[in-house]
Structure 1
Amino acid sequence: MRLRYLELSNFKNHASREFQTEKKFVAFTGLNGSGKTNILDAIFYLCFTKSYFNNIEIYNVKHEKSYFRLASIWTSNNEEVKIVAQYNAEKKQKKILFDDLPYKKFSDHIGKIPVVMIAPDDQLMMLQFSEERRKYIDITISQMDRLYFENLNRYNRILKQRNALLKSFVERGTIDESLLNSYDAEIIESGTYIHEKRKEVSTQINNHLCSLYKTISGDAEKAELSYVSQISDNTYKDILEQSLHADKYSGRTTKGIHKDDLEFLLNGTALRKFGSQGQQKSFLLSLKIAQLELLFENNKVAPIIIIDDIFAKLDEERVRNLLSILRSDKISQIFISDTSQSRIENVFQHSDEIEIFELTAQ
């Protein structure tokens, strides 16, 4: 699908904006604070039913407003579809509508418009924050497998409840064992499913990674991804039983798939310890393009790709190499942002393949 029309109402710093485009490449330029990132996040939201940057809906509502609304029109095979996302802060009510029909489950929408996002802070995924690495694989699999998205939400909900129960043990010295066993049963079921899918998909990503890294970087190092999990050598039931004593006295669940990680390697050496900035940039791009290729293979639908602040971590040569890859028919549409309109025009050599929207702060 391709985005043809986008309207934002009270979304983050935008009171009212609308855009129409027919192009494969679409750029938003303007000074910092003009809202470029928020427009890109609105597009991501319409594809994935939530913000790329936070999971708390009230943060997406413009200050002193009670709601936000995103309206869009997409085309595929000469047919139009309308997708709307809206949130009422007073009622704490969120809706996603497809051709005016609301979804009963948001997971039914995820994957219809596969999306890959590249943001400046993604660089942190290379060096620290295992949460960002889990986010990468979770976004990938959720767009390929609705059951995964549902199990992930269920796991996070039960984990929060289990942690609250464990915290009460620290405070009171007693615990409801039947309730704990109930939580454990749900965690084992959902956690095992999540673990198996992460293991499977990390292998698939790794199969794409090596050749992509060589293409993007021009280097000969062997790029690899390794899935690291406490569940790999034990059953989930055994893990929970072994860690129960530590869980009770720490007031939290100390082991499980919420501790999973991805290790990035070049020639068998950890990238975060020894990789140069150039190697880290090339590895990150390779991961994102691998994500894109995997989504296309699985969904048989060309994804869109969103690149926020395209020159923040990439020099012009890497941007040109990246754009040559993105011109593939496997990609439906590309959205980018930068502070400089002239820099975008120079990279695209003033071609009419791109439409540029210059923003000013509202």
Structure 2
Amino acid sequence: MILRTLRLRSFRAHDETTLELRPKVNLLHGANGVGKTNVLEAIHYVCLTKSFAASNDRYVVRQNAPYLEVEGLFEGVRSTETRVRMVYVPSEGKKVFVNGAPLDRLTEIVGMLPVVVFSPEDHALTAEGPSERRRFLNNILSQARPVYMDDLMKYRRARKQRNEVLRQYKKRPSPPPEPLIEPWTEKIISIGSRVIHRRNAFLHTFREYLVDAYERIDAVAEEPTIEYDTIGGFADGTELEDIEETFRAELERKRDHEHQRGTTLVGPQRDELVFRLDDLEVRRYGSQGQHRTFAMALKLAQYLYLTDRLDTQPILLLDDAFGKLDARRTDVFLELLLSDVIGQSLITATRRAPFAHTIDFSRPMHRSMHVTRVDGAARVTPETHSEEGDTVNGGASGESDEADRQAAQSPATETQQT
């Protein structure tokens, strides 16, 4: 799958921006805070209807603008050219149009336009709490299997209703009566067991992709593994009926605790993924380098898995992903971007220079673009390169060189649940 053109209107720093993209490496470079990450965020919006950098859609609308709009023209989606437009009006919500026709549900777009993001925040995957790892798990499975996302949303709604019943009886001497809570209990058992069953089956397969990804980016002979910590500690291949039986028994065992706490204490919302290198638990004992490499391997494994599962290569978004990598890992990953393993990618960075020795931007399959601020709005200027790799037009050569010199004097640090 290839994103040919992208149009942003009133999106963060962008007032009105149109980009023509190339099928392999697309580099967006410029000073911090000019709007580079906004472009990647907009692609994520049009592919998955949400940001990877903001928790509230209102923060994404350009200041004083009544709405935002993102439109992308894609090739290779179900073997056709597909135009997707997403509009968000704060007072009305989001709407998605595919080739001019509105979608009945926003979730219909998820999985149609697969996307994988590398960012500095990936460190949270291995270093922070279980919710980060569940979010990662949900992102992959929702893109790969729409029925999983449907169950996940149904489970959240049913758990919310059950928690409301438990909350109402929290300070009462007796737990909720069975006729009141039992329907919601049965719903979370039925739906939650399907979520756990699919997670368990997925992780059995995903482990192989993780080993492959780790070997591609690290020369150290450490074996990465994932352990799925859920109710019952189910082995691979556990039947759905066995999960339901264990789920029901655990709810019964924690009935008094749920009454005291006023919330549901059993289910996939409490799942955890434990990452190890050989016998070392990465979260507790991994070095900074091991954390960084493991997180990169997870995202690369996600890319490889979605490619196989969906029979198309996702768009790869790399937001300041090379800032903390050593030279060897940087070179290894850039070679991957140029190989057939990876399709289209978009990179943000403060400087063009670190990429120039590996990526020939004079070739028609790649493009570099200089991002600046003009009159308070982001401007993206495509650059044309000679065969020797020099920037020869686009009005950005001198500005780019100056940005490179300034960036070299300061760190490149642009960053932005069930």
TM superposition score normalised by structure 2 = 0.80
CA RMSD of aligned residues (A): 2.2
Q: 1:164, CA displacement in angstroms?
A: 2.9
**Which deviates the most, 2-11 or 56-65?**
56-65
**Corresponding residue to 1:257 among 265, 268, 286:** 268
Mapping of 1:55-204 within 5 angstroms?
A: 55-76=55-76, 79-91=80-92, 93-170=93-170, 175=176, 177-204=178-205
Cα deviation for residue 317 of structure 1 reads 2.3
1: distance between equivalents of 2:342 and 2:216?
18
| Conserved? CA contact 1:195–1:231, under 8 Å | no
Q: CA deviation at 1:88?
A: 1.4
CA contact (8 A) 2:274 2:281 kept: yes
How far the C-alpha of 1:331 sits from its partner, in A, is: 3.0
User: How far 1:216 moved relative to its partner?
Assistant: 1.1
> 1:322-361 residue pairs with structure 2 within 5 A?
322-348=333-359, 352=363, 353-361=365-373
Q: Matches of 1:303 and 1:131 in 2, distance apart?
A: 24
Q: Distance in 2 between matches of 1:272 and 1:221?
A: 16
Q: Do 1:12 and 1:61's aligned partners in 2 also have CA atoms closer than 8 Å?
A: yes
Query: Number of residue pairs matched?
Result: 361
Task: State the shift of 1:79 in Å.
Answer: 4.4
Q: Are the structure 2 counterparts of residues 171 and 359 from structure 1 closer, same or farther at C-alpha, using a change threshold of 3 Å?
A: farther
Q: Which amino acid aligns with 2:64?
A: E
Shift of 1:283: 1.4
1:97/1:176 Cα in 2 relative to 1: closer, same or farther (>3 Å)? farther
Go from structure 1 to structure 2 and tell me whether the alpha carbon gap of 1:350 and 1:327 turns closer, same or farther (over 3 Å shift): closer
The verdict on how the C-alpha distance between 1:305 and 1:35 changes in structure 2, with shifts beyond 3 A counting, is same
Could you tell me which amino acid in structure 2 is paired with residue 312 of structure 1? G
C-alpha distance in 2, partners of 1:238/1:337?
A: 50
1:290-314 CA-partner distances (Å, limit 9, x unpaired): 1111111111111111111122332
Residue 63 and residue 188 in structure 1: after superposition, are their counterparts in 2 closer, same or farther (change >3 A)? farther
2: CA distance between counterparts of 1:74 and 1:284?
28
More displaced 10-residue stretch of structure 1: 327-336 or 288-297: 327-336
Matched with 1:220 is 221
Distance 2:54 2:19 in 1: 24
CA distance in 1, matches of 2:54, 2:162: 23
Deviation at 1:177, TM superposition (A): 4.3
How far apart in 2 are the matches of 1:67 and 1:165? 38
CA-to-aligned-CA distance 1:239-271 (integer Å, 9 cap, x gap): 222222212211222221011111111112201
Deviation at 1:13, TM superposition (A): 3.2
The match for 2:320 is: 309
Distance of 2:95 and 2:173 partners within structure 1: 42
TM-score by length of structure 1 reads 0.92
**Amino-acid identity (%):** 29
Counterpart-to-counterpart distance in 1, 2:55 and 2:191:
21
Amino acid at match of 2:48: F
The CA deviation at 1:3 is 0.8
Residue in structure 2 matching 1:237, options 235, 244, 248: 248
Task: Give, as a single letter, the amino acid of the residue that structure 1 aligns with 2:53.
Answer: F
Aligned to 1:205: 206
Separation in 2 of the partners of 1:25 and 1:176?
60
Change (3 A) 1:239 1:326: farther
In structure 2, the gaps of 5 or more residues are 235-242, 378-418
C-alpha spacing 1:143/1:167, structure 2 compared with 1 (3 Å): same
1:123 Cα shift? 0.5
- Runs of 5+ unmatched residues, structure 1: none
Counterpart for residue 382 of structure 2: none
Mean CA deviation greater in 115-124 or 234-243: 234-243
Are the structure 2 counterparts of residues 52 and 95 from structure 1 closer, same or farther at C-alpha, using a change threshold of 3 Å? same
Secondary structure, in 3 states, of the residue corresponding to 1:170? coil
